[in-house]
Amino acid sequence: MALIPKGLLTKSSRGKQGRRITSAALRDSFDRRAVLIGGLQGTIGVLLAARLGFIAVGENEHYRVMAESNRVNLSLIPPRRGWILDRTGAPLAANRADFRVDLIPDKMTDHDQTVDKLGQILSLTAVEIQDIKDRLEDAHGSRPVEAAAHLDWDKFAAVSVRQPDLPGVVPQRGFSRFYPTGPCVGHLVGYVGAANAKDYEKEHNPLLITPGFKIGKDGLEKRFDTELRGVPGARRSEVTASGRVVRDLESRDDVPGDPIRLTIHGGLQDYASRRIGLESGAVTVMDIHTGDILAMCSMPSFDPNSFSDGIGRVEWKMLSEDDHVPLRNKVLHGLYPPGSTVKPTVALAFLEAGLDPSESVNCNGGLQVGNRVFHCWQHHGHGKVDMMKGIYQSCDVYFYHFAQRMGMDVIAAMMHRMGWGREYDLPLGNQSFGTVPDPAWKMRKYDKEWAIYDTVNATIGQGYMQVNPLQQAIVASRIASGKSLTPRLMADSSQPEFQPLGVKQEHLDLIRQGMWEMVNGRGTGARARIDVPNVQIAGKSGTAQVVGLNFGNGKGGAWKHRDHGHFICFGPFDNPRYACQVLVEHGGGSGAAMPIAKDVMTYLFDQQKAWDALLPMEAGWGGTPQQRMAAKYQGFSRQYGAAAPRVGDGDAAVARVDAGAASPQPIQSDAAAPAPEPVAAAPAPPSVVGGASTAARPKAGRQP
Amino acid sequence: MSTSVIPDPIRLLPWRVLGPLTLLVMFGATVLYSAGGGKMWPWAGMHLVHYVVFLGMAVVVSYLPRDLFKQAAYPLYGGLVVLLVLVEAVGRIGGGSQRWLNLGFMTLQPSEMMKPAIVLVLAQFYDNLPPQMTRSWRALVPALMLLAVPAGLVIIQPDLGTALAICFGAVVVIFLAGVPMWWFIGGGLTAAIVAPLAFFFVLKEYQRKRVTVFVNPEADMLGAGYHITQSKIAIGSGGFFGKGFGNGTQSHLQYLPEAHTDFVFATMSEEWGMVGGLFVLFVFFVVLFRWGMGVARRAPDRFAAMLAAGMTATVFFYVAINMMMVMGLAPVVGIPLPFLSHGGSSMMTNMLCIGTIMAVDRWGRRGRRFYG
């Protein structure tokens, strides 16, 4: 059989020539190699036995512990959060029993599919499903993501039954945060939410990644998180790999967090917030005996109830596109030219510097300063004006005239003494505290000499002057009390000791008299007069111009070009107890602020009367703030659906809106602004609002 | 010899080996009974049914004459290759990989049958090869081609575990056929070079992952390392005597994946401990090392010897890889543990191997009876 070509054989058989391979030799080779194979098998067998002994006996302890930690799941029970109470003990933030569903990203196999299935079971809308997917995308590892809360029993049971087919879905009964008045306390108490990666980095606490646990994200909820948090309970249960609980082994109850109590009066807070209505505004009410803040409202606001499960796309679009900036706490972060509300302070400065209050100036509608004419809001002129009339008629020429004589240093010093331009110690984070300008400040900031028209601007609360509403409330309190009062927000039964302002009582009395006259007499503030027997309030209006007159007259036109309306007041006049500040952003003048101040002050003395005034109006506005927000949300939801852009880090976005408020007004570095303008003269019937005023706008500009 | 009540065909079966094997299968059924949550069906019951059915098949095989084996070798091999191609084609058309052919009354997995068939066909090849050619390229190239075709078809299914099993049986037969030793050394060196290349360019992503995870299972505890880790936890927590029948938490709470198939050894170890593991090893020692290799050494001729040794090696490969896998010594490849894992295909393959060894055993005894 010559199957093999000669040439091929030679090489491989070289050296083995002559050695014939026979069947016997092959048998021999087979036997030897079979022994080798057998030996290999035996070696592997011994190796396996050794490995088995090493794992099962040598490392038994280690693996027993691991098996046990597999089998037994120690889950934390989120503690019930401490309540936030108002001064009467009524809750501003409470907890309510709740059925909820969370998702653990780590344990989910297919995010989209699971969420869609869950959406079907819970009949969620496309928007809600999109929001859950967004949140899942941002989450990692075992940090839980809230899928749904406030479920009824049927839906909760439906999810629980299907849990084995939904890996990573954790239905749970627990407690959730509840704010009874919703948006009315949003800026005050803040909101809670699931801890994010940054929170967990700061505090490696397993509680933070427990489903259902929320931490304070903003406001008081954040500031007092430690006090409110409480101690978690724990439950040991036997679980399967997919997380299904086979049986509970033992459990320990949670310890609820401590309540915190505020100086806020819940009813007043609710009332004042709702009274702002459709306007963008702020109201602060203070007790001038103690400095207690009774109400601190900034509207429109967000609903902290709906923020606790994260901030959804539609919700974010709705809030961030609103030119009324619902995410900004205007009381602390809104900066506005105060307009004529500075005049009582300026007048006090004049008195303390020795100006005789009976000294008068003739107002014919304007005053030439340098080569410019500064107009009075009443360009027909006020005639002969002394200090009292300067306050109650808010005559600008009076202040133009005497400010030049007394000088800015005197005015600025009194402004600081009365509490303008500074930050107060409140547990609500940083405040934007604005500017009280003086020559040294201008040199520092702009490297320019102080000009006489700067003084003129400042005395009517325009120009560089910027304040926040809290300061206005404090100035009102200080005028009413005569003390260097400071605000407080946390309830405290002790009576704080305030230093006197250090101004002569007769000077203070004169200012207060002017403010009384403004509201109850010959002044421009009749619309703030309250209709409660034996109670009168005193106040001062302010209209602050936002843009130059070339945009319009400040009353009509584009909303954001309209003037801001201010009103500060205190009452009762004869024995002051409460001070109040009202701001209406772009309200078209102080006429928008006075009716609000009137109703809020009325509430303090006669709640029924106040509600009777508010409820019909509210019906016309489309319901309570909560109802209006719900309707608006529905509208946005219909219009944009899940197509609204993603929020990303909602908490950070909210914080940015608030911080961005630091300088909402352009700083005027040169041009002189004309005077502000209160509403129509004295006992005008309150039915005419704003526009009916016959008073023409002052015209600024060079004299021909 | 006095007549017995037990009929000869049963009495004459090699009970020395079938005894321990039956005990092992019953032990397997016990483990499956527990893994099934204390239920006989479907796992434990079917396991016993499979065993009885395929034991009958093995007995039938053991009575087949040597010549029939030799004649059937190439046709059987050829038929299985055709079926493998068919599986691939059906899978391609149906979309997605497929390993089964549905014959209507049963599903057929040709790759499983290929494991004993490759041993058979190579034994036949070397038996026909003139002895003086064993050291020439003619001894190797055709054999490698015989191996490459089915192994390649199985690998593209893709089923790495089965492909490796086919290769292992074949390589053992080639080795025992007496081809030059340096081919194996050279082959080993080539494999050392090719393996890393194959790892990066040939293996699928999920297969690559199994290898990396094998090197460091704890790195990916919740992902691909999960299987190995949970399996080690099950075995380790069992200790020497185990947690007791029905008390395995790893399997009952579903931490252990594939508790009744690939990871059945871990399920068993958790409840029966190292004692159970040593029993399993002992039975395999008796069946494979003493009996299987023993039959091969005593075989009457070259064909029979290679056949028995190759079949033993095929079963051994299952045992070794599966147990190394569950104890973290090998990457996770889908290979069941013979006689313990639930599954008809694997039981059939293993019983075919056992039946073939029994046949060789019979030829040997008859041969000795005739000539000795």
> What is the C-alpha to C-alpha distance for residues A454 and A456, in angstroms, rounded to an integer?
5
Output the average pLDDT for chain B: 85
B274 has pLDDT over 90: yes
Q: Using alpha carbons only, how large is chain B's radius of gyration in Å?
A: 21
What pLDDT score does B255 carry? 82
In the three-class reduction of DSSP (H, G, I as helix; E, B as strand; rest coil), residue A148 is classed as strand
d(CA A374, CA A698): 8
Alpha-carbon distance B51 to B45, whole Å? 10
* Two structure tokens written together for A343: 């005049």
3-state secondary structure of A552: coil
Q: Quick one: closest CA in A to B235, which residue?
A: A56
**What is the distance between the alpha carbons of residues B151 and B111, in angstroms, rounded to a whole number?**
9
Look at B134 and A38 and tell me if their CB atoms are within 8 Å. Answer: no
pLDDT given at position A505: 93
Contact call for residues A127 and A642 (beta carbons, < 8 A)? yes
Q: Please identify among residues 387-426 of chain A the ones whose CB lies closer than 8 Å to any CB of chain B.
A: none
In the three-class reduction of DSSP (H, G, I as helix; E, B as strand; rest coil), residue A122 is classed as helix
Exposed, middle or buried: residue A7 (CB in 10 Å: 0-12, 13-18, 19+)? exposed
Cα angle for residues B341, B347, B348 (degrees, 5° grid): 160
Token pair belonging to A33:
């190699």
Query: What pLDDT is recorded for position A674?
Result: 44
Comparing CB atoms, the residue among A34, A53, A240 nearest residue B254 is: A240
- Nearest by CB to residue B135, choosing from A1, A16, A41, is A16
Predicted confidence (pLDDT) per residue in A34-61, tens digit: 899 999 999 999 999 999 999 999 988 9
Name the CA radius of gyration of chain A, rounded. Answer: 37
Enter the pTM of the model: 0.66
Determine the Cα–Cα distance for residues A429 and A374; give it in Å rounded to an integer: 40
**Distance in angstroms (rounded) separating the CA atoms of residues A572 and A562:** 32
Question: Is pLDDT at B135 greater than 60 in this prediction?
Answer: yes
Task: Inspect the interface and report whether the beta carbons of B136 and A9 lie closer than 8 Å.
Answer: yes
What are the backbone dihedrals phi and psi of residue A221, each rounded to the nearest 5 degrees, phi first? Answer: -55, -35
Instruction: Pick the more confident residue, A667 or A219.
Output: A219
Is residue A342 over pLDDT 90? yes
Flag whether pLDDT at B54 surpasses 50: yes
Mean of the per-residue pLDDT values for chain A?
83
Q: Three-state DSSP class for A260?
A: strand
Q: For residues B329 and B321, give the distance between their C-alpha atoms in angstroms, rounded to a whole number.
A: 9
Query: Which residues, numbered 101 to 120 in chain A, qualify as contacts with chain B under a Cβ-Cβ cut-off of 8 Å?
Result: 106
Task: Check residue B55 and report its DSSP letter.
Answer: H
Residues B297/B358, Cβ–Cβ less than 8 Å: no
pLDDT for B77 equals 94
CA dihedral A334, A337, A339, A342 (to 10 degrees): 80
Q: Are A523 and A517 in contact (CB under 8 A)?
A: yes
Residue A657 has a pLDDT of 61
Closest CA to A339 of A571, A507, A568: A568
Instruction: Look at residue A88 in the predicted model and tell me its pLDDT.
Output: 93
pLDDT digits (tens, 9 = 90+) for A610-619: 999 999 999 9
On whether the CB atoms of residues A541 and A525 are closer than 8 A, the answer is: yes
Which positions ≥6 away from A673 have C-beta within 8 Å? A457, A462, A463, A545, A548, A700
CB contact under 8 A, A70 and B324: no
Given this model, what pLDDT does residue A387 score? 92
Whether A284 and A295 have beta carbons less than 8 Å apart is answered as yes
Residue B1 has what pLDDT? 47
Q: Which residue in this structure is represented by tokens 């030793």?
A: B181
Q: Which amino acid is at A17?
A: Q
**Does residue B261 register a pLDDT over 90?**
no
SS3 state of residue A701: strand
What distance in Å separates the CA atoms of residue A645 and residue A636, rounded to the nearest whole number? 13
Q: Is A42 on the interface with B (CB under 8 A)?
A: yes
pLDDT the model gives residue A662 = 42
d(CA B364, CA B305): 10
Question: What's chain B's length in residues?
Answer: 372
Pairing of strands A578-585, A192-193: unpaired
Euclidean distance between CA atoms A249 and A240, whole angstroms: 14
- B197 exposure class (CB count in 10 Å sphere: 0-12, 13-18, 19+): exposed
Q: What is the phi/psi pair of residue A284, to 5°?
A: -130, 135
Residue A270 pLDDT: 94
Beta carbon pairs, A and B, within 8 Å = 154
| Residue A613 CB neighbours (<10 A) | 17
> Side chain identity at A120, as an amino acid letter?
Q
What pLDDT does A573 receive? 93
Q: Which of A589, A609, A584, A586 is nearest to A599 (CA)?
A: A609
- pLDDT at position B360 is 92
Selecting from A12, A48, A70 the residue whose C-beta is nearest the C-beta of B255 gives A70
- The predicted-structure confidence for A233-245, as pLDDT tens digits, reads as follows 888 888 887 767 7
Query: Can you give the pLDDT at residue A128?
Result: 84
A34/B289 touch (CB, cutoff 8 Å), yes or no: no
Going by pLDDT thresholds of 50, 70 and 90, the confidence category of residue B214 is low
Which amino acid, one-letter code, is at A81?
Answer: R
Tokens standing for A564?
Answer: 């801001």
pLDDT of residue A391: 92
A165 in contact with B, Cβ within 8 Å: no
pLDDT recorded at residue A556: 67
A684, pLDDT greater than 70: no
**CB A432 within 8 Å of CB A372:** no
Instruction: Give burial (CB, 10 Å; 0-12/13-18/19+) of A619.
Output: exposed
Mean pLDDT of A207-225: 88
Strands A260-261 and A84-85: parallel
Cα–Cα distance measured from residue B310 to residue B292, given in angstroms and rounded to the nearest whole number: 9
**A3, A20, A26, best to mutate vs chain B, most B CBs in 10 Å:** A26
Identify the pLDDT of residue A43: 93
| Phi and psi at residue A655, to the nearest 5° | -60, -35
Q: What are phi and psi of A305, to 5 degrees?
A: -60, -40
Report whether the peptide linkage leading into residue B158 is cis, meaning its omega lies within 30 degrees of zero. Answer: yes
Interchain pair B274, A56: CB under 8 A: yes
Residue A686 has pLDDT above 60, yes or no: no
Tens-digit pLDDT profile for residues A370-406: 788 888 888 888 899 999 999 999 999 999 999 989 9
Say whether A51 and B327 touch across the interface (CB within 8 A).
yes
Q: Provide the 10 A C-beta neighbour count for residue A141.
A: 11
Chain A residue with CA closest to B181: the answer is A33
Q: Which residues of A touch B235 (CB under 8 A)?
A: 52, 55-56, 63
Q: Report residue A11's pLDDT band, with 50, 70 and 90 as the boundaries.
A: very low
* Token duo for residue A89: 């003990």
Angle, alpha carbons A506-A511-A512 (nearest 5°): 95
Per-residue pLDDT for B298 more than 70? yes
- For residue A674, give the amino acid letter: P
Bridge partners of A569? A539, A580
User: Cβ distance A381 to A365 under 8 Å?
Assistant: yes
Residue B184 has a pLDDT of 83
What percent of chain A is predicted at pLDDT more than 90?
38
- Answer yes or no: do B296 and A70 touch at CB < 8 A: no
- What would the pLDDT profile of A508-562 be if each residue is shown by its tens digit? 999 999 999 999 988 888 899 999 999 999 999 999 887 655 555 666 678 888 8
**Omega of the bond leading into B180 within 30 degrees of 0 (cis):** no
SS (H, E, C) A18-49: CCCCCHHHHHHHHHHHHHHHHHHHHHHHHHHH
Residues 6+ apart with CB under 8 A from A162: A117, A121
Q: Give the Cα separation of B214 and B281 in Å (integer).
A: 23
Give A189's contacts (C-beta < 8 A, 6+ positions apart): A84, A92, A93, A179, A219, A220, A221, A304
Looking at residue A94, its pLDDT comes to 92
Q: Looking at residues A570-587, what average pLDDT do you find?
A: 93
Q: Read off the pLDDT of each residue in B224-243 and give the average, rounded to a whole number.
A: 86
Interface touch A63/B309, C-beta < 8 Å: no
At residue B95, the pLDDT reads: 54
Going by their DSSP bridges, the two strands A260-261 and A245-252 should be labelled as unpaired
- By C-alpha distance, which of A289, A290, A305, A299 is closest to A331? A299
Confidence of residue B221 (pLDDT cuts 50, 70, 90): low
- Residue A62, classified by CB atoms within 10 Å of its CB into exposed (0-12), middle (13-18) or buried (19+), is middle
- pLDDT tier, B178 (very low <50, low <70, confident <90, very high otherwise): confident
pLDDT at position A420 is 92
CB contact at 8 A, B324 and B27: no
> How close is the nearest chain A Cα to the Cα of B299, in Å?
10
* pLDDT at residue number A702: 32
With 0-12 / 13-18 / 19 or more C-beta atoms within 10 angstroms meaning exposed / middle / buried, residue A695 is middle
**Mean local confidence (pLDDT), A648-670:** 54
Q: Going from the N-terminus, what domains does chain A have, and what CATH number goes with each? A: 72-261 (3.90.1310.10), 266-702 (3.40.710.10)
Taking phi over 0 as left and psi of -120 to 50 as alpha, with beta for the rest, B318 belongs to: alpha
Of A12, A51, A66, the CB nearest to B136: A12
